[in-house]
Structure formats: structure tokens, C-alpha cells
Amino acid sequence: AGSVESKNEAAMSELVPEPRQKPVVPMKPMGINASLLGYIGIDTIIEQMRKKTMKTGFDFNIMVVGQSGLGKSTLVNTLFKSQVSRKSSGWNREEKIPKTVEIKAIGHVIEEGGVKMKLTVIDTPGFGDQINNENCWEPIEKYINEQYEKFLKEEVNIARKKRIPDTRVHCCLYFISPTGHSLRPLDLEFMKHLSKVVNIIPVIAKADTMTLEEKTEFKQRVRKELEVNGIEFYPQKEFDEDLEDKTENDKIRQESMPFAVVGSDKEYQVNGKRVLGRKTPWGIIEVENLSHCEFALLRDFVIRTHLQDLKEVTHNIHYETYRAKRLNDNGGLPPMTVETEENHESNL
């Protein structure tokens, strides 16, 4: 009987597993009081990064879209205080309105305070200028996706460049005509399609043609129409990283957007100061005076506070979405072109 019991016990011990040991939870890193041990120098990383960026410079590609005559070229020149637009770079005054939308990119290097910026201004002459403007946003979407494709091909190369040239569109300024009524179907159609692939910043052009009341009312109407049509403009709500970002961006979304702007590359003397402005029979509209227009708000937003974020959202969201879809459609790799096959063979 004793042997039967011992057999049963052995069988039981096989069935009942031994209690598993709890995994060792790693201790939380303790905050070391640096003042006890002296200065380490971790904070110098910021200076190291700054030096590196100043040496290499950075790319920024801005696209301007809107009907002709809305002052797109002038505004871009005003934004960068340089003659950077297509029209100021040897444009022929007799140039006719193109039959279809053309894409013209012009590159410049702007240097300020030792920092180099490789600026590319992408103009879209012919957009919205025809009698039938159906699908006139398609060449623009095609161009934006072609830049993502170019970047992706460089990225998947076996022997890829240390620094891939970045031609991706970081920001698209969409010019709304200052009608004071509502957005045209073309405006809504463009923003509906393009807001998924690029950072769109809507601006009301030539805002000096409206009274202050008309401007405020028009801005509210545009915001409402964009919301009703489910159009997300930059900065998009879902990409706010923390509470600070959300508070700052909410203010921009609810108060500033779309920026009502006036551009000018002409200087005038006002109260002993030289200012950029537009001369009218009743006085000078100062471009950088906030009580005259919102150009200064747009400039600060695009260049002084959100330039890096525009680049990051382009890379981490828009490009990433394109890349994931592209690789998914092709089973993990973009299709081999003759060029990539040659590169592949030469690398082997």
C-alpha cells in the first residue's frame, strides 16, 4: 500500500507544476545629485548638435498653391526677405497662363547667423486659372508623392548615402481668395485630397481688400467650413505631443488660422523707420504690423516656432504613411528599376 501511495504522490507532483519564481523587477534608475559628484557635462550635447547642424545646414521645401494674382510670389519673398520666388528669378513677364498645372521648383541657400538653409520654393502656375479646374490638384499630389518615392528609393539602396537629399515638401501654403463669402469647391477639393499627404497652412491672400469686420467673419467662416468638411490643416490635432503643444496649437487653430496676410517687398519710411509695406491713397499698410495684418504671425509660426516640427511631421507621419503603404503593396520592397538593379549588381 505504501508503494501505491508513493506512486500516486509522484504522479501528483508531475501534474502540479512547481510555483514559478516572479521575474526580478529592475530597480528604477535613481536620480543622482550631480552637485555631490561635480559637473558631468551632459548638457553640452545641445551645443554639439548645434555645431553639427551649422556645418551641414538643413533643407526646407515650401510649396505655394493658389490662383494667379493672389500675391504668392510676393509673400514668399517677404517671408524670407529675399528674392526667392519663381517670378523674381528671371521670370518672363510675357509668360502666358499655362494650359495645365505646372510645377516649378527653385532652390536657394539662405544664411543667417552662421546657419545655412537650403530653401526650395515650389510654385504651381496654372492652378485654378482654367474654366474647367476639375482634378487640377492631381499634378500637385503626383509631385509630392514623387518626392517621397525618390527619398524611399535612396533609403532602401544597399550602398545608401550618409545624407539623403531631401526634396520632400515640408509645407504647403494654400492661398484663399479674399472674397469674404465662402470657400470655393476647388479650395475644399484641393485641401481634402492634399491634407492627407502634406502639411497644409491656409492663408487668406491680399487681406487689405477686406475691412476688419469682414476679415474676422471670413476667417470664422473658413474655419467652420474646413471643420464641417473634415479637412485637417497643420498643426493637426492628433499630432500634438504633449499638453504644452496642445495648448499652443489650439490657440493657433482657433484664433489665427487661416492667417489673413499682406505681402510686400517694397520699403517705405514710416515715423523715421524703414518698413515693408503697401502704399495706398489713405496710407501705408505695414506688413509686419499686427494691427494691419497677420503676416508677422505667419512668419513666426512657419519659421520661428514650427519649422522643425513641419519637417518632423513630414518625415514621421506623411512620409512614413507613404512608405508603409508602398512597402506593403510590394511585399516589403519597392519594385526594382533598371537603376536600382545596376546599383545592386555593382555593389555585389
Tell me, yes or no, whether 269 lies in a domain.
Answer: no
3-class SS at 224? helix
Q: Indicate the pLDDT class of residue 194, thresholds 50, 70 and 90.
A: very high
Tell me, yes or no, whether 196 lies in a domain.
Answer: yes
Tell me, yes or no, whether 41 lies in a domain.
Answer: no
Buried b (16+ CB within 10 A) or exposed e, 105-130: ebeeeeeeeeeebbbbbbbbbbbbbe
Q: Is the pLDDT of residue 45 over 70?
A: yes
Phi, psi of 138 (to 5 degrees): -60, -45
Q: Which has more pLDDT, 287 or 151?
A: 151
Q: Is the pLDDT of residue 104 over 80?
A: yes
Per-residue pLDDT at 344: 47
Whether 142 contacts 327, CB under 8 Å: no
DSSP labels for 266-331? -EEEETTEEEEEEEETTEEEETT-TTT-SHHHHHIIIIIISHHHHHHHIIIIIIHHHHHHHHHHTT
> What average pLDDT does range 227-243 have in this prediction?
87
Q: Indicate the pLDDT class of residue 121, thresholds 50, 70 and 90.
A: very high
Q: Indicate the pLDDT class of residue 55, thresholds 50, 70 and 90.
A: confident
Total-model pTM: 0.79
d(CA 304, CA 70): 24
Whole domain around residue 166: which residue ranges?
Answer: 57-85+98-263+293-330
> What average pLDDT does range 191-219 have in this prediction?
90
Q: Is the pLDDT of residue 51 over 60?
A: yes
Q: Indicate the pLDDT class of residue 197, thresholds 50, 70 and 90.
A: very high
Q: Is 306 exposed, middle or buried (0-12, 13-18, 19+ CB in 10 A)?
A: buried
Q: What percent of the chain has pLDDT over 70?
A: 80
Tell me, yes or no, whether 79 lies in a domain.
Answer: yes
Tell me, yes or no, whether 65 lies in a domain.
Answer: yes
Lowest-confidence segment of 14-18, 29-33, 307-311, 318-322 by average pLDDT: 14-18
> What average pLDDT does range 221-231 have in this prediction?
92
Per-residue pLDDT at 209: 85
Q: What is the pLDDT of residues 126-166, one digit of tens each?
A: 888 777 788 888 999 999 999 999 999 998 888 888 888 89
Per-residue pLDDT at 236: 87
Q: Is the pLDDT of residue 50 over 80?
A: yes
Tell me, yes or no, whether 10 lies in a domain.
Answer: no
Summary mean pLDDT of the chain: 81
Tell me, yes or no, whether 141 lies in a domain.
Answer: yes
Q: Which has more pLDDT, 270 or 37?
A: 270
> What average pLDDT does range 286-296 have in this prediction?
81
> What average pLDDT does range 289-310 have in this prediction?
87
Lowest-confidence segment of 106-115, 249-258, 262-271 by average pLDDT: 262-271
Domain total of the chain: 1
Per-residue pLDDT at 111: 87
CATH number, domain at 222?
3.40.50.300
Spatial CA neighbour of 252 closest among 263, 230, 237, 231: 237
3-class SS at 198? coil
Quick count: other Cβ atoms within 10 Å of Cβ 58? Answer: 15
Tell me, yes or no, whether 26 lies in a domain.
Answer: no
Q: What percent of the chain has pLDDT over 90?
A: 27
CA distances from 67 to 70, 124, 203, 229, 299 (A): 6, 9, 13, 21, 21
